[in-house]
Structure 1
Amino acid sequence: MNNWFHSWRAAVRIARRDAWRYKGRSFLVLAMIALPILGVSAADLTLRSSELSTGEKLARSMGAADARVVDPGYGGAPIYQNPVEQDSMPVGDFDNKPWPQGETDVAKVFPPNAKVLADSSGAGKLRTAHGLLQTEIREFKAADPMARGIMSLQDGRFPERADEVAATTRFLESSGLGIGSTVAARGLEREYRIVGSYELPDDLKAVQVNALPGAFLAPLGKALEKAGLPGTQTTTTHLLSLARSADTDGFTWNMVQQANAKGVVVLSRAVALAPPADADVPLFQQEGWGNYAGSGAADAAALAAVGTVVGLAMLEICLLAGPAFAVGARRSRRQLGLVGANGGDRRHIRAIVLAGGLVIGLAAAVVGTVLGLILAFVLQPVLEESFGQRFGAFDVRPLELLGIGLLAVLTGLLAAVVPAVTSSRQTVLASLTGRRGVRRSSRVLPLVGLGAVLLGAAIALYGSVYSSQFALVAGGSALAELGVVAMTPALVGLFGRTGRWLPLSPRLALRDAVRNRGRTAPAVAAVLAAVAGTVAVATYQASDDAQQRAAYEARLPHGAVSVMVGEGGGRDVPVVRDAVQKNLPVAVRADVDRIVVGKASCEMYGDGEGCGRHEVVTPPANVCPLWAPTADGSDPADKYTKAERRKLAQDWRCKEMPGVTYTESGLVVGDAKLLTVLGIKDPAAAKALGEGKVVSFSRTLVDADGKLAVKVITDSAKAEEAMAEGKEPPGKVTSFAAYQVAKGTQSYGVAGIVPPAAAKAAGLTTVPLGAYFSTDRMPSTEQRQKLDDELARTGAAVDLHVEEGFVSKNSIVLLSLTVFAGLITIGAAGIATGLAQADAEADLKTLAAVGAPPRVRRTLSGFQCGVVAVMGVLLGSAAGVLPAIGLRLTEQRQQTSWYEQALDSGGTMDAPHVPIIIPWETLAALLVAVPLGAALLAALVTRSRGALARRAAT
């Protein structure tokens, strides 16, 4: 034991001195190991800090209160609730009857002597420096000690008077106002002075103002009602603080269940800190409910993903750092030979080389962990702003950081294993004389690698064709890639046979790479691993991008614009139309109106008291049999067999699905200009509109006599009651002469166009809805910003859409992956080139001695780097396509299975389209640009002349 300790102590001292002597090589290896440790430790600190404890969550939701009381809206009916969430359901069976609705008197569950704090929220349009801004209005006594932690005061103070408000920092930024400014709501003459700014720790992007209870929402509601404008809906919850006594344990689970029996949801601090067992929660015993917070499968999947990433990172580091240790051991072979000459055996030599990995690993662990701490601390405010919420306390977990640091040590030791074994096998004479000897490449390793490639490909093929398990595809692809890595030395030798057709410098570079496979193969394998992962992800992303492009449903022709306002009876529509006309390059403008039932101020879909709605009556002959209502309320698809359902799913009555619509019926009131904007070139349709006929874009809406029927329902509440009972809602039906456009015409969600004259003749009330515009060119960013600013000044809830076509979200991902692979490739090739120069210094001196021009050294260096990059990129591209194809085939099988199940159950979805696309642009960049860039960079940073050394004494 004592001899072992002293020998390792000496080995560590030798390794430390050697690392300090060759600082450049040591720094290179340290950086390779420390960078991943920096990233992992910073990610760990950020993740742990972002995870809020139960106490922190409670402080943000209920401050210092004991409970928050919520009305679930079931009219006082008994309920079941989640003990720690707001999920709830009424007690009883409501399959064939409507769920209970209505307000509940929550005050009946307040315990005696409890302190109560109301928290009300609504919304309104507030006047700002730029116009009007939709803002959440919260009435809450934020200065009360019970509210501490819900709002974080940034500057000033919370309101203390009825004419004061505080505002979130995001509201002040958006509105152009500040502390001391006054703000007013649209429709309310009363002004409020801003006395402070605050933020919501859970929502930093909230646009909100805070007022005292009863100071803002009630006056605003009365003013809007008086002006005939839509009011604001207010929701109120209550915070409770129980009177403290020796026998008070807070709001217990029994108390919560007693409140549930009265139809009230209670979120309790005591229950959240010590939740009951799932068996004691009635909600979790109901069908379709459960506590899924601790999913073992999800945890296992997350653990597998983390393990895979960590394993690949360690493999990458070992592949890159291993040659560095090998070259270091080779440069120190005389020192190692002296150890052997003075009685040291192979285990001492192995210990010295392994100690080098230990020393570098320890240094990398310390440096990476410290830098990770600093990086996480510095980036925390930036990440908080990006995520839109504050993290909890800066959570440093020493055991996790120690484990990450040990990972660096383990990586350093693993990277030094092969060089240690290789160095220990050299004879003392070879080490002292500097002779390397002749070693044959392993004949077994390539065969093992070939077997792994075939086995991995077979597993991936089975997983993609005969199974739906992604793990099989991923595992098989990883095994195949490891097999290619094992075959790399042999493949490098095959590349060497192409040298006979190359000029001098590339031939020397290729010959040097083949002769020194110990440092070339790991570097090629590292490039292979990086490129294979990038090609796999890029292929998958490109295929998914093509699938999304095919599934994209344009709302308008490319470059067209639509603007809709569905509130206020169309009062703001003329101003909105003119704003778009003025700020965008409009070619054709088509104004559209909507049919309104009841008061002109009624909103769409029958919202508002005394308002109704309208709908298009589908002729019985055009109703899809799979959707036709039945007398007993059963599913109509149950009457058919699976084969009949699949056949009916292809019926034209079942395939016509509505797109994006702006009205409840899909009908708009307009003229022939709308046809022009929508790109519909049908002279007969324009003529029909001129004759007062309705133009229909759906065959299901027009009967055999060419009529389109519209039902006017004056009472939406009675209509809902009738539908709940399985009856047709009562209403007046009006028929219009209709023109049916040709099959396949793209109408962009418009079911039909009603001429204004036809609507007026039928006695239908119409109000302005908006307009469609075609443009001469795509609106610029500056034009959009000016328009948005002017629309904001109107204060209307405007739905503006500019059709830009399908915008790929994966292009940035592909670009990032290409850049990442390029950096890794250049880095790995550069490391291999640096090691080659250090290892082949004698050969370079020989070239200079025999009269080689100075540029040969630079050219040779560039080609050495390029050779490694080319070999790695070629092998990686071939290896990376396999997993992507396998995953896409697996997805195709799954989606086809879901599609067939949907058809069997009466669904009418389209057949899945899962293309496989090879990203040739990415491959071209990797195959051409990256090796070329690596070669040029290596040539530029290499000195043309090297110093001639004196002849070594013999």
Structure 2
Amino acid sequence: MSVLSTWRLALRIARRDAVRAKGRSALVVAMIALPILGVSGADLLFRTGELSPAEELTRELGVADAEFRVESDGAIEQSFEGDVTTWLEDSEYTAPDPAADLALVTGLLPPGSTVLPDISVSQRFDVGDGVVRAQLREIDAADPLTEGMFTPLDGRLPEAADEVVVTEHFLDESGLAVGDELTVGESGVSARVVGTYELPSGLDEDEVIALPGAVIPRLGGDTAEDVWGSYLVGVPDGVVDWPLVKEANTQGVVVRSRAVTLDPPPDSEAYGSMYSGGSGDSEFFVAVGVVVSLVILEICLLAGPAFAVGVRRSRRQLGLIGANGGDRRHLRAITLASGVVLGAAAAVVGVLGGVAVTVLTRPWLEETTGSRFGAWDFRVTELGAIAALAVLVGTLAALVPAVTASRGDVLESLTGRRGVRHGSRVLPVVGTVALLAGAAAALAGAVTMDSSAMVAGGAIVAELGVVALTPALVGAFGRLGRRLPLSGRLALRDAARNRGRSAPAVAAILAAVAGLVAVSTVLVSDEERQRAEYTAAVPEGTVTLYTWAGEDDMETDLTRARQAVERELPVAERADIATVDVGYGCETDDCGYMAVAVPEASRCPLDGWESAQDMTVEERRRLAEDPRCVENIDGGTSSMTSVAVAGPELLRLLGADSPEALAALADGGAVVFRDGFRDAAGEVTLQLWDTSPDWDDATGAPASEPDRSWTFPAVTATVENVPAASPEAVADLLITPETAERAGLGPVDMATYWSTDRMPDAAERRALDGAMEQVSDSLYWDVERGFQSSTSMPLLILTLAALVLTIGAAGIATGLAQADSAADLATLAAVGAAPRVRRTLSGLQCGVIAFMGVVLGAVSGLVPGIALVLADHRTSVGWWDDALESGWVSGGRPELYLDLPWVTFGELLIGVPLVACVLAALLTRSRITLARRAG
């Protein structure tokens, strides 16, 4: 029989088998189709979301031929796209002047050209219950040149000077509706919202559009200095060529030309154009190759057992073919044809499904990314290659079962005997060696060689070693079922006896979980470092209000601001804070200076880079670890952080109200927040220079003696039970108002702290912003939120992805087990097993597979995770050592922050197997129909 005839027959048999075993076929098709669905959807999504240069120009320039922007009062040079510019000699920044800039641009253009000004400025808008900051833009949105820049949504475009349109996002943020009024900043200029629109590439931007000249000229104040203007240009022949761009550059004008961008001049004319070599492309293709390889491996691990089960179910048919003259080549072809048929079906389902999912989810994806996609871009070649990949994967998944089927004994196939099967004795040895060697290589690369490539390579080898050990480990798990109830014992023994389908599913789960654990270890360790390095001046939830001392009406503004805070926010205890006036508001170089003296014993011997250069590396290393240099107490400042004048309520609010500190304030003493300010007698000295002192260049300290000084008995405050609060950032020294008055220190009121009953919400913060706008621009307020984790969302996404893959792999293994053990289940029912046993057994089979994969994956994932953290720490230490060698001393040796993802472990080890077990039990029929044997 010819090869063509053999494959024609094999494909016909494979198609009939697929139709006959619909459940198993659907399972295999689903396994292959799901990744193909994701890849094809991602391809279409990427191609559609990737805007062409023409689409980008339309969104930014509309249908204009170019955009002109005045940047300098002298000549400049620019790249073809106008994104890279350099000012030539004697060129300086020029403040925007819309009238003069319009005249300059118009003079550069040929007769008959059209110029449309596009002027914008950032402003605050009063929206009734608060303020919202947005971009105020003046442009005629009805002009034909703007087509494609905006997408009108509701209402209409402005037709009068007191009308504006706003983005939909601005409407959501402000709580306004079409027809409402808004006020621009403090100008009192109001306008009515007559419509909404969206920016195709900025769906989450806050912007307001008014007619040209309708609002910005009426704002007054310093608004003109912040105006940003450009000019859309249409020329008669539709081409703003490179010579015209170069001519505009001589006048300090940057041009983004549609013609030049889409059809750039020769590279010899280029200036500042970014050239990207092939390295980025090669890295991209390497990454794509790795991802595709992992996808193929994952599918083969899951689909291979399904084909193996199919081969066992078709043993008699294959035996008959062998008995009638079929050789091994025919048997291999028939099994491989099953992979081709099911792979082709998966290709159709996956590609069409990916396209359908992308089409249906496009609006949601656009809202999520904040940008509209471009025109649909179906790359037939790429989608065809993805479909071919599905067929290839199906064929590869059937390869090992095909070889096994071709080597089967005809007599055993006809009689249904399966023979004696022994596990491989070589594979566990190879897996153990690979595991140990890979782990050693990964740790060596992290600890001694500082090689990320070696860490990654070692981690991969170690993980492959665990995969090779999986069959033996599955068998070991099976021995744990001796003391379990019936269903659990059956589930574990079934997984151990049928390692051909259990081990690949466990390996697939292992690979996914190992990656999750590795990434999670790196993320939580980095978060631990950030948490340790985060320093809050006040406890979490504390509201702080500052004003700039020396401003006119400062006391009145601060009083009104305090009233606004207490009116709008859920504040509780309050502490008013003053400081000592040493010439605040002074606009000369001869202002006063104040400092808390640092005793000689608390000073770091390093007085700067020059003194460090005179030391040996060993001396610099020793001093870098010295607490005096780590804390680096300088005590010199002319701002509030030198002296705080407040009562004991500040200590209570900071959580530093120890009896000793309270007693020191009551007795007219001082409280310091770092012990280095106290001398041997337990006193602290405050120094004051009436004019700016001379400075010692070597030490950076004042070279002249202070004009006045005060000495106070002092106590060092301790902070207890206040996470992430470091009150030393509040001030160096704290004294009461009475102590300041007795010492002749004139306190200046400048801040207030409040504790809160709860964290203020967005509406309350917006209301306070609006109230502060009515008080003064010299006020600043904030709420201490504490350390904000940035890893919660990535960990959640990774965990959900691992959950889906784990449940999918465990469910596939369970479905195969049910198909492969139908006779055993029938026997159980025949001997009187309760109907719930089948449901319980199915759930436990799924849970057991998930649990084994999760446990092994969690253990194997720790190797690369810990190695990567150690490698990063070694890099940081290397930079620190290099700095010491060069003479720089920047704090102590970097600490190692290694934390394990315990929450992720809990979700994986408990939640994932439990969810898999429950789902499998719920989706399994508890009753089966017993077939009567004929005759």
Match of 1:742 among 706, 712, 716: 716
User: What is the correspondence of 1:775-786 to structure 2 with a 5 Å cutoff?
Assistant: 775=756, 777=757, 779=758, 785-786=763-764
Q: Measured at CA, do residues 652 and 487 of structure 1 come closer, stay the same or move farther in structure 2, by a change above 3 Å?
A: closer
How do 1:795-944 residues align onto structure 2 when only pairs under 5 Å count?
795=773, 799-849=780-830, 857-905=838-886, 906-935=888-917, 937-939=919-921, 941-944=923-926
1:117-176 Cα distance to aligned partner (Å, 9 max, x none): 333222333332434333322222333333333333333444344333222222233334
Q: Tell me how far 1:884 sits from its aligned partner.
A: 0.7
- Measured in 2, the distance between the counterparts of 1:591 and 1:810 equals 37
Contact 2:65–2:239 (CA<8 Å) still a contact in 1? no
The Cα of 1:70 is off from its aligned counterpart by 3.4
Q: After superposition, give the CA deviation of every residue in 1:482-530 in whole Å (9 maximum; x if it has no partner).
A: 2221222233334444555556554444443333222222122223223
- Distance, in Å, in 2 between the alignment partners of 1:25 and 1:82 is 60
1:581 to 553, 566, 570: 566
Q: Does 1:29 align with 2:21?
A: no
State the partner residue of 1:591: 576
Question: 1:210, 1:751 → 2: CA distance?
Answer: 46
* Equivalent residue, structure 1, for 2:127: 128
Structure 1 CA distance, aligned partners of 2:198 and 2:746?
46
C-alpha contact 1:384 1:390 (8 A) present in aligned 2: yes
1:209-252 deviations in whole A, cap 9, x for unaligned? 2223332122111xxx4xxxx7564223332536445xx95241
CA 1:122–1:921 in structure 2 vs 1: closer, same or farther (change >3 Å)?
Answer: closer
SS of 2:576 mapped into structure 1:
strand
**Match of residue 287 from structure 1:** none
* 2:142 paired residue number: 143
TM-aligned CA deviation for residue 701 of structure 1: 9.3
TM-score computed with the length of structure 2 as normaliser:
0.84
RMSD value, Cα: 4.5
8 Å contact kept, 1:111–1:242? no
Map 1:651-662 onto structure 2 (within 5 A): 655-656=630-631
Relative to structure 1, the CA distance from residue 380 to residue 761 in structure 2 (aligned partners, 3 Å threshold; closer, same or farther) is farther
Is 1:84 the counterpart of 2:81 in the alignment?
yes
Match of 1:458 in 2: 440
Paired with 1:164 and 1:188, the residues of 2 have a C-alpha distance of 16
Q: Distance in 2 between matches of 1:825 and 1:174?
A: 40
Correspondences of 1:676-715 after superposition (within 5 Å): 676-681=652-657, 706-709=685-688
- Once residues 280 and 625 of structure 1 are traced to their aligned partners in structure 2, the CA distance between those partners, rounded to angstroms, is 57
Residue 420 of structure 2 corresponds to: 438
Please tell me whether residue 268 in structure 1 is matched to residue 246 in structure 2: no
SS at match of 2:121: strand
Amino acid at match of 1:216: V
**Distance of 1:881 and 1:848 partners within structure 2:** 44
Task: Find the aligned partners of 2:737 and 2:511 in 1 and give their Cα distance.
Answer: 66
Matched-pair identity in %: 47
Shift of 1:543: 2.4
Looking at structure 1, the residues matched to 52 and 89 of structure 2 have their Cα atoms a distance apart, in angstroms, of 35
- Residues 177 and 497 of structure 1: CA distance in aligned 2, closer, same or farther (over 3 Å): closer
Specify the alignment match of 2:509 in structure 1: 527
Are residue 671 (structure 1) and residue 674 (structure 2) matched? no
Larger displacement relative to structure 2 (903-912 or 642-651): 642-651
Identify the residue that residue 51 of structure 1 maps to in structure 2: 50
- CA distance in 2 between counterparts of 1:417 and 1:159 reads 68
- Give the superposition deviation at 1:862: 4.5
Question: Which letter does structure 1 place at the counterpart of 2:14?
Answer: A
CA contact (8 A) 2:69 2:231 kept: no
Corresponding letter in the other structure for 2:40: S
Tell me the equivalent position of 2:240. 250
Residue in structure 2 matched with residue 716 of structure 1 by the alignment: none
Give, as a single letter, the amino acid of the residue that structure 2 aligns with 1:749: A
Q: Determine the C-alpha separation between the residues in 2 that align with 1:705 and 1:695.
A: 9
Superposition map of 1:726-765 within 5 A = 737=710, 742=716, 746-747=726-727, 749-752=729-732
Structure 1, residues 793-817: CA drift from partner, whole Å, max 9, x if none?
A: 5536775433343343434544554
Structure 2 counterpart of 1:236, which letter? W
Shift in alpha-carbon separation, 1:562–1:279, aligned structure 2, 3 A: farther
Cα displacement (A) at 1:20: 1.9
Matches within 5 A, 1:311-460: 311-460=293-442
Amino acid in structure 2 at the alignment position of 1:577? R
* CA–CA separation in structure 2 for the residues paired with 1:366 and 1:845: 36
Residue 773 (structure 1) shift? 0.8
Amino acid at match of 2:240: G
Q: Does the CA contact (< 8 Å) of 1:701 and 1:708 recur in 2?
A: no
Code of the residue aligned with 2:730 in structure 1: it is V
2:722 equivalent in structure 1: none
Q: Deviations over 1:315-354 (max 9, x none)?
A: 2222121111111222222222333333332222222222
Q: Secondary structure at the match of 1:395?
A: coil
Distance 1:767 1:391, change over 3 A: farther
Call closer, same or farther: CA 1:762–1:305 in 2, change over 3 Å. farther
Q: CA shift at 1:742, angstroms?
A: 3.3
The Cα shift of 1:12 comes to: 1.8
Conserved? CA contact 1:463–1:472, under 8 Å: yes
Q: 1:768 to 1:390 in 2, by over 3 A?
A: farther
Q: Determine if the alignment matches structure 1 residue 70 to structure 2 residue 48.
A: no
Q: What is aligned with 1:789? A: 767
Aligned residues: 905
Superposed CA offset, 1:417-472 (max 9, x none): 12222222223332232222223333333333333323322331232122333232
- The structure-2 alpha-carbon separation of the partners of 1:860 and 1:126, relative to structure 1 and needing over 3 Å to count, comes to closer
Supply the distance in 2 between the matched residues of 1:699 and 1:6 (Cα, whole angstroms).
92
Distance 2:13 2:386 in 1: 26
TM-score using structure 1 length? 0.82
Contact 1:569 1:767 in 2 (8 A): no
Q: How much has 1:772 moved relative to structure 2?
A: 0.8
Q: Is the 8 A contact 1:667 1:754 kept in 2?
A: no
Matches within 5 A, 1:261-300: 261-275=250-264, 281=270, 283=272, 291=274, 294=276, 296-300=278-282
Residue 762 of structure 1 and its aligned partner are, at CA, apart by 12
Instruction: In structure 1, give the amino acid aligned to 2:53.
Output: T
